[in-house]
Amino acid sequence: MSEGGAHAGFAHGRRLRSTPAMRRWTAQTRLAPADLVLPVFVKQDLVDPVPIRSMPGVVQHSLDSLRKAAHEAAEAGISGLMLFGIPAEKDAVGSQADAADGIVNVALQQLRADLGDELVLMADLCLCEYTDHGHCGVLTPARGGARGQGGGLVVDNDPTLDRYASVAVAQAQAGAHVVAPSGMMDGQIAAIRAGLDSAGFTETPILAYAAKYASGFYGPFREAAEGAPQFGDRSTYQMDPPNADEALREVAQDLAEGADAVMVKPALPYLDIVARVADAVDVPVSAYQVSGEYAMVEAAAANGWVDRQRAILETLTAIRRAGAGSVLTYGAVEAARWLR
């Protein structure tokens, strides 16, 4: 028997787990307030914020309550906000998305005036919240005899790109630090980059929702953003959940077209995708802990099935551990306060 005992030659993991300070010293993944981004919903003509039933603790903001929430976010030390807007009126082409008095553009102007560069103001760039049909682009009759999803209608990729470019310019003019296209149209990054550059916004970065899956975890968001498709679904333009290699192709294409950073959405069901993307690129990688992920933890905690704070921080740490440099989560401010 060796001097140290029968097992002296083996590493004892528990030696490095013996105290909280020891575990902090050996932690391989750090989670800090600056790693978090808060998605927010702002609705036109609201006087008071409206709670979202399926997302406890999350609201549709009025402009005033959004400004208060933004100050609280800055005080908590998170990095930024991702803005989603709900207009009072919708139409077939989402006109309010790039209107100067559109709800997100007004909110951006106010937040930029209030906070300057204290938070990174990110604007989700899509049309689904603004169209009366709830799809992410302009509709057109199906060609070649193909059946459309709603009365022979399909999303027309190329005219949608023109709309995206216009929305990007409007958001940049309103004060967005970052535009974040989420519609998953082919060629959207190139069109947006060209639109921004031609309007003089050459320094405005693009965070591409590069690998956005047609997920079953978006249900609560559709209540929050009032943007559920009125017919069919988005499976023809969002990614198919079984596919992983395709995510790397989508990311590579977006980077080739001029994206400055990329995102994987959802996060927890796609940690393998987060890891593969993080390994493959040398730009910032974000992951979006979407509404269904958030709602599951909240529901389990409300029933006493999980320790809420522990579960939330564990999920966020897992997303960081997979390789995401930043995490979009509806609990960003609360988590940041715990971390501080």
Alpha-carbon 252 to chain mean position: 19
Segment 259-283 shows an average pLDDT of 97
Segment 67-90 shows an average pLDDT of 96
Domain coordinates in residue numbering, the chain: 28-339
Give the orientation angle of helix 188-198 with respect to helix 157-174, to 10 degrees.
Answer: 40
CB 101 within 8 A of CB 173: no
Position 146 pLDDT exceeds 50: no
> How does residue 1 score in pLDDT terms, banded at 50, 70 and 90?
very low
CB 98 within 8 A of CB 166: yes
Report pLDDT digits (tens) over 87-114: 999 888 888 998 999 999 999 999 999 9
Report pLDDT digits (tens) over 14-59: 888 889 998 888 889 999 999 999 999 999 999 999 999 999 999 9
Residues 6+ apart with CB under 8 A from 296: none
Pick the closest to residue 173 from 194, 192, 200, 193 (CA basis).
200
Pick the closest to residue 276 from 210, 217, 184 (CA basis).
210
Residues 6+ apart with CB under 8 A from 90: 96, 130, 131, 132
Superfamily of domain covering 28-339: Aldolase class I (3.20.20.70)
- Worst-scoring range by mean pLDDT, 73-77, 135-139, 312-316? 135-139
Position 145 pLDDT exceeds 50: no
Token duo for residue 235: 């499976």
User: One of 43, 68, 90, 265 is an active-site residue; which one?
Assistant: 265
Half-sphere exposure of 327 (CA within 13 A, CB side): 34
Q: What is d(CA 105, CA 97) in angstroms, rounded to the nearest whole number?
A: 8
- Worst-scoring range by mean pLDDT, 132-146, 241-255, 276-290? 132-146
User: Given the structure tokens 């990054």, which residue do they identify?
Assistant: 189
Strand-pair category, 59-61 with 50-51: antiparallel
Position 150 pLDDT exceeds 70: no
- Worst-scoring range by mean pLDDT, 125-139, 259-273, 309-323? 125-139
pTM of the model: 0.91
Q: What is d(CA 235, CA 2) in angstroms, rounded to the nearest whole number?
A: 63
Alpha-carbon 227 to chain mean position: 15
User: One of 43, 68, 90, 212 is an active-site residue; which one?
Assistant: 212
Report pLDDT digits (tens) over 158-194: 888 999 999 999 999 999 999 999 888 889 999 999 9
Q: What is d(CA 61, CA 40) in angstroms, rounded to the nearest whole number?
A: 8
Instruction: Please confirm, yes or no, whether 265 is among the known catalytic residues.
Output: yes
Instruction: Please confirm, yes or no, whether 212 is among the known catalytic residues.
Output: yes
Q: What is d(CA 169, CA 98) in angstroms, rounded to the nearest whole number?
A: 8
- Considering the chain, what is the average pLDDT of its residues? 90
The amino acid at 163: R
Q: What is the pLDDT of residue 154?
A: 81
